[in-house]
Amino acid sequence: MAQTTAEDLYEEVVANFPGGLSPRWQHVIDDPRGFVAAYTRTLARVWAEFEPVWKQSRDLLHREAERIGAASVTGTLDAALATLNHPISLADESLRLSGPQNSTIPLHGRSITLIPIVSGSSASLYNVEAESVWVGYPVPGVGRLWESGVASAPVPGRALEAVLGPARAQLLRAAERPLTMGEASTILGCVPSAVTHHCRRLEAAQLITRTRNGKNVLVRRTPTGDQLIELLATP
């Protein structure tokens, strides 16, 4: 990315909007070099956080490849996919994704490429081609890697993480506004059962409340939670 020239970026952006440039991309055209520099810095910061989890995920990815491979050979792939947090199912020559995308894709003889990933909380349709359908899904167990703090060891100036752990600190900050459990799961990138566990611990410490609102359970930060964040705020 850092090697991308301003001219190349300009040409690519313009080529992707033959009907006229979207206003959201105008700042890229106005300052392509600045955009490339800022984007490169952002990617570097993201990778610095993500790299430890990526390294720790190798065993999970290897086991998942073996699990799916064995299921494919033994004809039990549908059962294996049904065990995922947001199941992927095969029926009537169609691939069905449950969860946020909630879609059904007719296969018509196309192959399926399954991509276990080390982030997110639900399966996603990546691409539909003439001969194959590409689907990504969080590798089973990845939520525990993020919860364990492998990705975010406490660093100076992050006192809240040191006290609560990275996942609960993130949840407490996000609960500045009411959150549904689904939103909390997306924010943390872990399964609902893990979110429930974190909420119970924060609720026991009187840092959040959980109240039912129709079909949803809303998570809110308490005044005590506000005070803790203020107390441990970075100077």
Question: Domain for residue 1, yes or no?
Answer: no
Q: Is 163 helix (H, G, I), strand (E, B) or coil?
A: helix
Question: Domain for residue 107, yes or no?
Answer: yes
pLDDT score recorded for residue 19:
80
Q: Are residues 17 and 82 in the same domain?
A: no
Question: Is the model's pLDDT at 139 over the cut of 60?
Answer: yes
Of 138, 164, 185, the position where a domain reaches its end is: 138
Token output for 52:
């430890």
Question: Is the model's pLDDT at 3 over the cut of 80?
Answer: no
Integer Cα distance of 116 and 48 in angstroms: 21
**Residue 140: other Cβ atoms inside 10 A:** 16
- 8 near 32, Cβ under 8 Å? no
Q: How many domains does the chain have?
A: 3
**Where does the chain have alpha helices with state H?**
6-15, 26-30, 32-56, 58-74, 77-82, 142-147, 159-164, 166-174, 181-188, 192-204, 223-231
Q: Which residue has the higher pLDDT, 149 or 120?
A: 120
Of 119, 138, 157, the position where a domain reaches its end is: 138
What pLDDT, in 10s, does the model give residues 59-85?
889 888 888 888 787 777 776 777 666
Residue ranges making up the domain that contains 24: 6-55
Question: Is the model's pLDDT at 138 over the cut of 90?
Answer: no
Question: Domain for residue 155, yes or no?
Answer: yes
pLDDT band at 155 (very low <50, low <70, confident <90, very high): very low
Interhelix angle for 192-204 vs 166-174, to 10°? 80
What pLDDT, in 10s, does the model give residues 182-224?
889 888 887 888 889 889 889 988 899 999 988 889 999 999 8
